Amino acid sequence: MIPDVPPPRQNYDSSMDPKFFFHSARLGAPTSPMHAKQLEEFGKRLNSGIKNIELGTIDPDKFEFIPKEHFETIRQLAILTDTKPSVHGPIVDLAGFDERSGRWSEADRRGTAERVWSIIERSHELDRSGNLPVVFHAGAVLSQERGKGLKEEARVFDPKTGEVKIQIKDYDPQFLSMRAVNTVSGETTLLNYEKKYSIADGKEHIWTPHTKLDSLNTNQWDEEKLKIFGYQKEIEELNQKVNLKQKQNEAIKATGLDHDKEYAETLARNERDVTLLREHIDNVHTYLSSSVSEAYNKFKKSTTTTKDQGLLEEAKNFEKKRKEIYEKFKVKELSEQYRTSAQHLQAVNEALKTQLEEEQRRHLEQQRQALEERTSLLALERTKAFVTEVAAMPTPELWRPVNEFAIEKTTETIAETMLKSYDKFKEQSPFISIENFWPNTPMSSAEDLRKAVLEARKLLAEKLIKQRGVPEKKAEHLAEKMIAATWDVGHIYNLRKAGYEGEELKKEILRQTKHVADVTRHVHITDNFGFHDSHLPPGMAQVPVGEMMAELDKTWEELRAQGKLHVEPRLIIEAGGLVGEIGQDPTIPGLAYFHSPLYAGAAPLPGGYWRDPAPFGHYGSLFIEFPQQHFNLYGSSFTTLPKELGGQVTGEKSRFSDTPTT
C-alpha cells in the first residue's frame, strides 16, 4: 500500500467526486527512451509534478552511456521530492534469440543474462530500499502471427465402418503463421497456415503450422535415420567387395597360379584394392558412429526440454530398450575387443614400415590380414547394434514453437539473474517485471506471460532452496516479490490486427487482463487504434483502459486484503505519441481520464478533478498566483507547470523574454 494514500474508489465526505478512480500518486510517466540523457529527462518529469517516473532507453548501447553518477543524482532527487523511480530496460531478447537473424544460441542467452544483471545492479542505485520495478519486454523476435476463424482437420476413426474420417474443427491456437526453432542447432523457420491439394485423393487439405511442425520433425528425423542406414548399407556392400577380392586371391594361391605373371598382377591389384576398401570401410564406420552419436545427442536434448508427456514416456521406454539392445549385442565387450584389435593392427602396420626381411614381412602381412578381418567383423557387429538402436528411437521434437521454447529459456535467464540479485542485495533487491510486447512476439498473451512469471518464480525458489539454503516458505515469498509481470494495455489491443473487432475484441482483452492480474505488479497505460503502438494518452483512441484497470484493481484489492500484494502496483502512462507527433504534454489528459484529484495527499484538498469542464474556474481563487519575481528567482524550470501549481503566470510578460504576450 502506498503510504498515506487512500485505496482506489474510496468515497470521501467532501465535495470531491465519489467517482474517484485512480489517485495521481499511483500514476506516473516515462522519460524519453531515445537517448541517454536520463538525468535531464528525470528533471523534466519532476517539473511536471509526476510522482512515479520510469527511466529507460530502447537501445541497449544507449543505456551504457548513462554515467553511474547520474543514477546517484537521480536517487537523491527522488528522495528529496518523494518520487518513486522505476526502470524500463533496453529491448533485449531474454531467451537468447538474435533479433536480426532470428537464431537462438545458449551463448546469446548467457550474454543477455549478463547484460540484464548489469541493468538490475545499476537500477538498485536508484532505490536501495528495494522493490524497484525493472521492466523488460518478454520477447523481441517474431514467434507467431494470429488469425481468426481458422479451421483444422481432425482424423477420427469410426469403429463401426473401420474407416478414418476427416472432421473440420476450430484450430486452437489461431495461428496464421508460427516460427519454430531447432533446439539443437538454434536455426529457425517460418510455418504458414495454408491449404494444399493432395495427390492421394485430389482434394484440398488444411495444413496448420502445427501440422507442418509435426511433419517437419518426422521428415527430418527420417532423414537422420536414412543417412545412418545408408552408411550401414555402404559398409555391407564394401565388405562384399572385400570378400570377393579375398576369395579370388585365395583361389589364385590355392591353384599355384600366383607364380603366373598375369595372375600375380591380379593378386597384387586385389591386395591393394582390399587395403583401400578397408580404409574406406573405416571412414564410413567413423561417419556412422559420429552420426549415431549426433542423433542420440539430438534425441536427448530435445526430450529433456519437451513438455509432451507422450514423448517423455516414449523416451523413457526407449532408454530401457536401448539397454536391452546393448546387452543383446554385447556392445561393451564388442567395443573393447574392437579397440584392442585396432591397436594391434596399427602396431603391425608400423612394424611393416621398417621390416625388411622377407620372411618376417610375410608373417606380418598374414597377421595384418587376420587383424583386418577381425577388426572389420567387430566393427560390423557393433554397427548393427548402433543401427538397431537408432531404428528404435522415437521421433523427438527437434523443432519446437519459438514461443514455447522462449518461455523456458526466459525463465532460466530471469531465475539466474535474480539469484545474483538476491546474493548481492538480499531483500533490498529490485524486482524484474516482464512485459507483454507485440502480439506476434513470445509471451504476448496473458496465458503465456503468466506462465513465464510462475515458472520463473518456481525456478528461482528452487535455486534459493537448493543452492542458498533458504527455507522453502521464505524462498517462495522472495520469488513472488522478485519476479512479476508488466501488463501493457496498448500492446495487447493490437490483437485487432488478427481480425477481432468491437465487443468481441473488448471481451477478449478484458478476459486476458483478468487472467494475468494476479501476477501483474506494474502497468503501462497507453491508447491506440489496434494497428500501431501509437502511445496516446488514455481516452484518445479505442483501448478500454478504464475497464482493464478495473479488472486489475479488483484482483489487487483481493490480494491486498489477503496480505499477498507485496508491491503496490504503479501505473505508467506511456503517451510519447502525443508529445512527439502532436506536441502536447500528456500529463493533464492522463490525470483527467482517471478522475484524479488535483492533489495527492492523505486526503483530497478542496479543488476538483482534472476532468472538470473548467477545472480552475470554480477553485482558482484557492490557488496562489506567484509574482514574476518568483520565476526570476527560481528560473524557467517552472514554466512547464500549470500556474496553479507554481507555473509562470501569463499576461504581461512571456516566459522567455520581456516581450508582452498577445
* 3 state SS of 194: strand
Average pLDDT over residues 511-531: 97
- C-alpha 329/C-alpha 389 separation (Å) is 11
Average pLDDT over residues 274-287: 88
Q: Predicted confidence band at 71 (pLDDT cuts at 50, 70, 90)?
A: very high
- C-alpha 182/C-alpha 399 separation (Å) is 4
Lowest mean pLDDT among 342-346, 352-356, 598-602: 598-602
Higher local confidence (pLDDT), 158 or 89: 89
Find residue 84's DSSP bridge partners: 52
Given a cut of 70, is residue 60 above it in pLDDT? yes
For residues 466 and 477, the answer to whether their CB atoms sit within 8 Å is: no
**pLDDT value, residue 360:** 83
**pLDDT value, residue 633:** 47
Average pLDDT over residues 187-216: 94
**pLDDT value, residue 594:** 86
For residues 653 and 628, the answer to whether their CB atoms sit within 8 Å is: yes
Given a cut of 70, is residue 292 above it in pLDDT? yes
Given a cut of 90, is residue 654 above it in pLDDT? no
- Amino acid at residue number 415: A
Q: Predicted confidence band at 83 (pLDDT cuts at 50, 70, 90)?
A: very high
Average pLDDT over residues 617-637: 45
In sequence order, which residues have a C-beta less than 8 Å from that of residue 341 and are 6 or more positions away? 371, 374, 375, 378
**pLDDT value, residue 145:** 95
Residue tagged 561417419 (cell numbers): 287
- C-alpha 545/C-alpha 489 separation (Å) is 7
For residues 598 and 609, the answer to whether their CB atoms sit within 8 Å is: yes
Given a cut of 50, is residue 621 above it in pLDDT? no
Top-ranked range on mean pLDDT: pick from 1-5, 33-37, 555-559, 585-589: 555-559
Q: Predicted confidence band at 612 (pLDDT cuts at 50, 70, 90)?
A: low
In sequence order, which residues have a C-beta less than 8 Å from that of residue 307 and are 6 or more positions away? 404
Tell me how far the alpha carbon of residue 78 is from its chain's centroid: 33
Compute the Cα dihedral for 236, 241, 245, 251 and give only its sign: positive
Copy the grid coordinates of residue 18. Answer: 465519489
**pLDDT value, residue 364:** 83
For residues 87 and 70, the answer to whether their CB atoms sit within 8 Å is: no
Q: Predicted confidence band at 9 (pLDDT cuts at 50, 70, 90)?
A: very low
Copy the grid coordinates of residue 188. Answer: 529457425
For residues 429 and 130, the answer to whether their CB atoms sit within 8 Å is: yes
- Average pLDDT value for the chain: 85
Q: Where are the alpha helices (DSSP H) in 355-471?
A: 358-392, 402-425, 446-468
Copy the grid coordinates of residue 373. Answer: 578381418
User: Over the stretch 476-497, which tens digit does the pLDDT of each residue have?
Assistant: 999 999 999 999 999 999 999 9
Maximum separation of any 2 CA atoms in the chain, in Å: 130
* 3 state SS of 596: coil
Q: What is the DSSP letter of 564?
A: -
Whole-number percent of the chain with pLDDT over 70: 87
Q: What is the DSSP letter of 146?
A: E
Lowest mean pLDDT among 176-185, 358-367, 417-426: 358-367
Average pLDDT over residues 94-111: 93
User: Over the stretch 583-597, which tens digit does the pLDDT of each residue have?
Assistant: 888 888 888 888 876
* 3 state SS of 43: helix
Average pLDDT over residues 318-331: 85
Residue tagged 546393448 (cell numbers): 326
**pLDDT value, residue 629:** 53
- Closest to 103 (Cα-Cα) out of 189, 175, 177: 189
Copy the grid coordinates of residue 384. Answer: 548393427
The three-point CA angle 502-504-505 to 5° equals 70
User: Over the stretch 373-396, which tens digit does the pLDDT of each residue have?
Assistant: 888 888 888 888 888 888 888 888
**pLDDT value, residue 226:** 92
Q: Predicted confidence band at 608 (pLDDT cuts at 50, 70, 90)?
A: low
Given a cut of 80, is residue 308 above it in pLDDT? no
Given a cut of 70, is residue 609 above it in pLDDT? no
Task: Strands of 107-162 (E only): list them.
Answer: 133-137, 144-146, 151-158
**Terminus-to-terminus CA distance in the chain, angstroms?**
47
DSSP states of 275-292: HHHHHHHHHHHHHHHHHH
DSSP states of 455-469: HHHHHHHHHHHHHH-
Lowest mean pLDDT among 5-19, 170-184, 511-525, 552-566: 5-19
Given a cut of 90, is residue 261 above it in pLDDT? no
Phi-psi label, residue 635: left if phi above 0, alpha if psi -120 to 50, beta otherwise: left
Average pLDDT over residues 45-62: 88
DSSP states of 76-104: HHHHHHT-EEEEE-----TT-B-TTT--B
Average pLDDT over residues 196-213: 93
- C-alpha 96/C-alpha 163 separation (Å) is 46
Higher local confidence (pLDDT), 330 or 226: 226
For residues 137 and 440, the answer to whether their CB atoms sit within 8 Å is: no
Top-ranked range on mean pLDDT: pick from 91-100, 260-269, 353-362, 627-636: 91-100
Q: Predicted confidence band at 3 (pLDDT cuts at 50, 70, 90)?
A: very low
Judge if the upstream peptide bond of residue 173 is cis by omega within 30 degrees of 0: yes
Given a cut of 90, is residue 628 above it in pLDDT? no
Given a cut of 90, is residue 503 above it in pLDDT? yes
